[in-house]
A and B are shown apart, each in its own frame.
Chain A
Amino acid sequence: MASSRQIEQAAAAWLARRESGAWAGTDQAGLDAWLAESTAHRVAFLRLESTWNESGRLTALGAGQAPGAAPPRGQWSASPLDRPAPARAPMASAQSPTGGPPDLARLVFAPRGKERPARWPRLLAATFTGALALAGAGLGAHHYFYGVTEQASYATALGDLNRVPLSDGSGATLSSDSRIAVSLSRRERHIELQRGEAFFEAAKDPHRPFVVSAGPRQVVAVGTRFAVRRDGPDLRVVVTEGTVRLEASPDAQGHPQPTTLLPAGSLAIASRNGVVVRTGSVADAERLVDWRSGFVTFRDTSLAEAASEFNRYNARKLVMGDADVGALRVGGNFRWSNVDAFVRLLEQGFPVRAEAGADRIVLHSL
């Protein structure tokens, strides 16, 4: 049996021939016969045919272009056509055109996929208002002397995300209620995570280590992607690409602390008692930083843990009414902005009763 790709190629060949201009009645009979052979043929052809029909709209691109040759790529994106697609913006997804139950329709599954940098502008647009960037005013002679080329701090409010491009080509994405201070010099790139969590894409620069500090600990990278989160006195590091080094300042007695190397796929939790490292797949690690695209992902997670995850992003807190409810295991992929839908699903699918208040939702087991 032909594979789906072979069928697609055959369908494309039929279509191209039909559109070639030399198409006789016998050709049509041949096509009809091919289409009648199987529904797979028919749907493959139908899909390409409707693409072909849609592609007729491309004539619009020809306006104002010199005829005879295709213009260089990328000309179209600067036009007013380039509207941010609303589909993924958390708020826009409320308008489900199909008219399902209004609130549940807002619950969207994360397309589990690649990073799509093009999404950033949209995310930025959606959250920019909430983020306040405090440009460093103190770029004086002192800093110049030490070679400081960029100094700034950035913060996000509860429920906001913000991606900050840094002058060295790196990027930092701040999660909800987070704050970083950036200081880039000729010798070092230093970022202090003062609160919350941030995901870093460190541009490669072997001569200038990329250092994220949080309290007494430091995460050092050369060029890689990783997230650092402060959780009370603990620190959580998730590495999705490359390797980072987790270091700690010498303790009170001046004893040097061990250094931990974290390869991609690692999840490290540094607490007062030491560092626990779990090494899994990169996909598992990626799941822990899904918040960047507006989602939280759980897999066999206790409800208590899931709730505290939601609470990082929302002013309206989920509270466990009893221990039983907190021990329920949940899984799935949820928009962190839509805590109401999450609660409603819990009520539908679990022995849970929610008691909604203005600033908190208490969950009780039935």
Chain B
Amino acid sequence: MTESIDAWFAREILVHEEALVHFLRRCWPHREEIHDLRQEVYVRVYEAAGKSVPTAPKSFLFATARHLMTDRLRRSRVVSIETVGDFESINVLIDEVSPERWCGGRQVLKRLADAFDRLPDRCREVIWLRRVEELPQKEVASRLGISEKTVEKHVAKGIRLIAEHFYGGGGTRARPRQALQDAGKEPGHGQQQTD
């Protein structure tokens, strides 16, 4: 049962991550909280799906995001007029947010390849040997002259970075540097990124 929800979640929810993150960024003024919001949206969706799988996953995902933001706004003591205004204007229409559809095999591979190319050098090397050449971790370690533990760390990092681009779109197609900023803990500036 859990397994089928997991598969459902990957197929119907994670594929909208890019659109979801765009939506959150658009509505939420604090950039540094987006990662956390995204996680909480996923938690709510996943838990709801455990009770009954939503029939319209995309709408459900965005409705969940909207409710979450509304809850947080109510909880926070200072409400920025700016946020509320913008948020409300979107309210009517958000169910029609178009999914970032990239499900075709080629699109998936292209996206993976892009994500792969964005990895830092060493990490990219490790992922190549592990995932493309499918060498065991031990052999990767001895080839690169590093410990197995280090290989494992590169794998962990690589998979996080790939996920960020593969599902999240990274928003960095031509500006890899931006990814570093996104990952950093810089203070939130404005509800929109300026460039």
Contact = CB atoms under 8 A, between A and B. Distances in A.
A105 interface: yes
B160 A12 contact: yes
B72 interface: no
Given A76-B113, A108-B98, A116-B174, A51 B152 contact: no
Nearest to A332: B89
A255 B156 CA distance: 69
B101 A87 contact: yes
A50 B14 contact: yes
Contacts of B79: none
Contact of A97 (B42, B93, B99): B99
Nearest to A113: B171
Nearest to B106: A81
Interface in A8-62: 8-9, 12-13, 15-17, 19-22, 38-40, 42-44, 46-48, 50-52, 54-62
B137 A241 contact: no
Contacts of B46: 39, 42-43, 46
Contacts of B43: 38-40, 43
A56 B192 CA distance: 35
Nearest to A96: B98
A74 interface: yes
Interface stretch (A147-155, A192-200, A204-212, A281-289): A281-289
Among B98, B173, B193, the most chain A Cβ lie within 10 Å of the Cβ of: B98
Contact of B133 (A60, A62, A112, A116): A62
A97 B15 CA distance: 13
Contacts of A50: 6, 10, 14
Interface of B: 6, 9-10, 14, 18-19, 22-23, 25-26, 35-36, 38-40, 42-43, 46-47, 56, 58, 85-86, 88-90, 92-102, 105-110, 112-114, 116-117, 124-125, 127-134, 136-138, 143, 148, 151-153, 155-157, 159-160, 162-163, 166-167, 171-175, 178, 190-195
Contact of B127 (A22, A55, A69, A300): A55
A5 interface: yes
A93 B191 contact: no
Nearest to A334: B93
Given A13-B156, A20-B148, A116 B22 contact: no
Contacts, number: 242
Contacts of A328: none
A82 interface: yes
Contacts of B26: 109-112
Contacts of B85: 299-300, 331
B102 A73 contact: no
Given A70-B125, A98-B58, A16 B22 contact: no
A113 B159 contact: no
Contacts of B134: 59
B158 to A, nearest CB: 9
Contacts of B131: 55-56, 58-59
A109 B23 contact: yes
A22 B138 CA distance: 10
A272 interface: no
Given A20-B148, A86-B101, A113-B171, 11 more contacts: A3-B36, A12-B159, A39-B46, A47-B10, A55-B131, A58-B127, A61-B109, A93-B98, A109-B26, A112-B22, A118-B173
A345 interface: yes
Nearest to A76: B113
A118 B153 CA distance: 31
